[in-house]
Amino acid sequence: MYIYGGRLFKPVEASGSSQASADTIFKYEQKENLVTATYAGGDIRFGQIIGRVDIAGVLDMRFQHITRDGELMTGHCTTTPELMANGKIRLHETWQWTCGSNEKGQSILEEM
């Protein structure tokens, strides 16, 4: 099982209407199969993630954040991990907004 606690990630690729950028830093914590994260940077003032991880390391998550312009955003995401050659984790995310346009997208985050 992948252990996410104490790891920092940042986006390296995003599609659709993602508001995360290379300046957004995600800090993950984990207790058993409960995974949480906080994130901020770029256009995002503050965000939170809550989810659960399965035995293969796949994350089923819900997220919420507020932008620097004061917009509240919510969504859900399924994340599949990949162990890179350097021992760090790459996260392949498929997400959808649950507010506004309900647009879908994909993102890749890499451990810092």
In the three-class reduction of DSSP (H, G, I as helix; E, B as strand; rest coil), residue 54 is classed as coil
Q: What is the pLDDT of residues 13-33, one digit of tens each?
A: 988 789 999 999 999 999 999
Q: pTM here?
A: 0.95
Q: Decide: 49 and 36 in contact? Cβ < 8 Å.
A: yes
> Would you state the structure tokens that stand for residue 75, as one six-digit string?
């969504």
Region 8-111: CATH code: 2.40.128.30
- Distance CA(10)–CA(23), nearest Å, equals 7
Domain range summary for the chain, segments of one domain joined by +: 8-111
- Distance CA(53)–CA(15), nearest Å, equals 24
Distances from the Cα of 32 to the Cα of 9, 21, 38, 57, 94, angstroms:
20, 29, 18, 12, 23
> Would you state the structure tokens that stand for residue 42, as one six-digit string?
């770029």
Q: What is the pLDDT of residues 32-52, one digit of tens each?
A: 999 999 999 999 999 999 999
- Distance CA(38)–CA(35), nearest Å, equals 11
